[in-house]
Structure 1
Amino acid sequence: MTTQSPRGLAVVTGASVGIGRATAEALEKAGYAVLSASRRLPTIPPAPTGITTHQLDVTDTDSVTALESAVAEHPVPLTLLVNNAGIPTHAATIADSDITDWRSTYETNVVGAVQMTKALLPHLIANRGHVQFIGSTVGRVPYERGAAYAASKFGLTAMVQTLRLELNGEPVRVTEIAPGMMRGDEAGGEFMRERFHNDEAAIASVYKGVEHPLTPEDIAECVVWCATRPAHVDIDLMEIRPLAQAAQHKVHRTS
């Protein structure tokens, strides 16, 4: 973490596990100083030397304000924000869904991203920066028993598209990265356990016969690639699916 980081400071939210952690590590390798922000600070394995950690709850205004202060005091100027923090919802029909689930999901997945973007946008404008959002293919095509999560990702997509319009003429790039079927480390497992109430059989059925779902590292590579394009090149949207997944409901299974 020095003022000599050639690409500037990158803030990654939801960075303790999964896509967030893989992204923080990939950005550090790509030459960024990285501020890894999450509700649960990672302890194992230790973060690389170019990564500092910061406790953050994107739904809490005071927590976001404290993060902005840390960015303002950081010796490296902010050039990249990766809005990755998000939570799943329990699999349920709309008729059987829990309204609390809907509210908490929207508050984290959409309002949290808005709060972070609003807080750090002045830094990004000043430094000709880039803001990326981790969305989902379900933000364009929903599936049964996933309405609350899909609605939050549809909402995030609408916010990203609006932000791009509003920043037209400003030196800030805006990118949405939308992964399809993925399974990775503890974050992927946590997501599915939450969605299916720890029903291991239901979780296994999602991935049955799919040899190579996406991994967090796959998405991290996409984040880095988008961030390291020339400053005049803005990757508006990148949708990524495993080869086995042609669409939300069309997945090739070997068994």
Structure 2
Amino acid sequence: MHNTLNDHVALVTGASSGIGRAIALALSRAGAKVVVGARRAERLDALVAEAPGEMLAVTLDVTDPDSATAAVAAAVERFGRLDSLVNNAGLMLAGPVVGADITEWVRMIETNLLGSMYAAHAALPHLIESRGAIVQVSSTSGRIASAGNAAYAASKFGINAFSEALRQEVTARGVRVTVIEPGFVATELTSHITDPVMREMAAGIQQSMRTLTADDIANVVVFALGQPDHVAVNQILVRPADQVQ
């Protein structure tokens, strides 16, 4: 891939594995300076060692607004600016509503929805200054809810709603907001599921199709961020060719 983001400064949340890790490496290959945030510091250190370009690791818990603020501050202190925020941190704990462990609902809302909101809030003053961009990694579950995924879908629908309202607020100030809605991606996300029936179902669905890879989504992020300033790619829905819904 040709360098398209030379000297661009990006902060990627949830960068210790899966899609976030792939996004961080793809941005680095494209010439960006990348700040990677997650709770698993040892994985971030390994990521920094692998990156082809300059990369900074910061311990980040997106459910803590102070942690989000500190991560943004570390990025600006190191590189002098912030050009994009990629809100990727996420958690999927599928299961039926009846008999649900509602602490799992809280974890998903805090991580998927509030976490992205906290990070956006912290980053926005700097993104307005740089006329930068926010990329929100949502899901096909952000537009089509399904049985067994009520709380997860609620968190992703929330991301989509927040992102559209934010877009309307900041587009005139030069900040672009992009929502990316991946379908089935081969990552460790489904391993978070504690309900054995739902975990087995998710595994079966993945085995039934040619799933997307984390790199597929990373390439979409690079595409969106690499557009000229006058081009806003606001929403990208990307499914495996074999996925029906």
1:234 match: 232
Query: Is the contact between residue 196 and residue 203 of structure 1 (CA under 8 Å) also seen in structure 2?
Result: no
**Percent identical residues:** 39
Cα displacement (A) at 1:8 = 2.0
Aligned residues: 236
- TM-superposed CA distance for 1:135, in Å, is 0.2
Conserved in 1, the CA contact under 8 Å of 2:87 and 2:134? Answer: yes
Q: Which residue of 2 aligns with 1:128?
A: 131
Letter in 2 for 1:25: L
| Larger fraction in helix | 2
Unaligned runs of 5+ in 2: none
Match of 1:83 among 75, 84, 87: 87
Equivalence for 1:33: 33
CA contact (8 A) 1:58 1:85 kept: yes
Shift in Å, 1:193: 2.0
Letter in 2 for 1:204: A
What are the equivalent positions in structure 2 for 1:9-158 lying under 5 Å apart?
9-41=9-41, 42=43, 43-44=45-46, 46-48=49-51, 49-89=53-93, 91-158=94-161
Counterpart-to-counterpart distance in 1, 2:118 and 2:200: 37
Is the 1:135–1:176 contact (alpha carbons within 8 Å) kept by the matching residues of 2?
yes
Q: Distance in 1 between matches of 2:171 and 2:21?
A: 31
> In the aligned structure 2, how far is the partner of 1:154 from the partner of 1:21?
24
Answer yes or no: is the 8 Å Cα contact 2:11–2:72 preserved in 1: no
Provide the C-alpha distance between the structure 1 equivalents of 2:85 and 2:194, rounded to a whole number of angstroms: 31
When Rg is computed on C-alpha atoms for both structures, the one with the higher figure is 1
- Report deviation, 1:143: 1.2
TM-score (norm 2): 0.91
Please tell me the residue identity of whatever aligns with 2:68: V
Deviation string, structure 1 residues 196-222 (Cα, Å, up to 9, x no partner): 546774443122331x20010000000
Q: Under a length normalisation based on structure 1, what TM-score does the superposition of the two structures give?
A: 0.87
Question: Deviations 1:24-73 (Å, cap 9, x if unpaired)?
Answer: 00001111000011111214463324221110001112212211221231
d(CA) in 2 for partners of 1:29 and 1:9? 13
2:216 alignment counterpart? 218
